[in-house]
Amino acid sequence: MATAANKKRQAATEAVEPNRAERRKRETRRKLLDAAHGLMARQGIDTTTIQQITDEADVGFGSFYNYFSSKDAIVEAICAETIESFGDALDTISEHVDDYAEVLSASIRYVVGKGGSDAKWGWFLIRTAFATPSVELGLLKRMSRDLHAGLRSGRFKADDEEATNVALGGIALSVIGSRLRGVLDGRAPELAATMALRMLGLPEKEAQEIATRPLPPIS
């Protein structure tokens, strides 16, 4: 009887264990991601060490490498989870809007809106914007694609495409930073979009009108 009971217990344990081990692994990975995200939002990627991440996550230093091969790998995972997924959602704007000016305006409004209200997300964006080239932000790549299409179609005007893309990123980041610090109010997203469109050659009134249209939905 004792043996039968033991066998039963063991079978039950075997059925549960994989899930428990899986769950614990997921939890540790989550802890590492959250710790790294928070640290990098506060102090940037370059200054953050793996030691700091494992200390903050309360995980042994060596365990880090069971989940990520390097610091770059965890940065990529954070970007994929927080920034790329938001970028994917922004990609659906063009399903509802044809005008390149409105597409870019809506993207900027969404990014500035999220960055200015979600401090961890916003600071991560700011602190990582000037980090090593390997972590080029997906959002900037998307902005660059929308800018390119708008320039080719003649909707936008610019002396230099690359410099214009850099400037657009600078406007968005700077407005997010000022919003997070309470320097700008809730109109920040629309103001950033208006300024961006004006820089791209749209007349004042039109830029303002486009930047204050109802936002197209994102998925």
Instruction: Note the residues at the interface with a copy of itself (CB under 8 A).
Output: 42-44, 46-47, 126, 129-130, 133, 157-160, 162-164, 166-167, 169-175, 177-178, 181, 183-184, 187-188, 191-192, 194-195, 198-199, 201, 204, 208
Burial class (CB in 10 A: 0-12, 13-18, 19+), 195: middle
Q: How far is the CB of 29 from a copy of itself (least distance, A)?
A: 26
CB nearer to a copy of itself: give 104 or 129.
Answer: 129
**What's the closest the beta carbon of residue 210 comes to a copy of itself, in angstroms?**
13
Min separation Cβ 45 and a copy of itself, Å: 10
Decide whether 40 or 106 has the Cβ nearer to a copy of itself.
40
Residues 6+ apart with CB under 8 A from 29: 67
* Residue 18 vs 154, nearer CB to a copy of itself: 154
- Asked if 72 contacts 136 with a C-beta cutoff of 8 angstroms, the reply is no
CA atoms within 13 A on the CB side of 211: 23
The residue among 28 and 53 lying less far from a copy of itself, judged by its C-beta, is 53
Cβ at position 27, least distance to a copy of itself in Å: 28
Residue 18 beta carbon to a copy of itself: minimum distance, rounded to whole angstroms:
41
> Alpha helices of the chain — where are they, by DSSP H?
2-43, 50-57, 64-67, 71-78, 85-91, 93-96, 100-117, 119-129, 138-152, 161-180, 188-199, 204-211
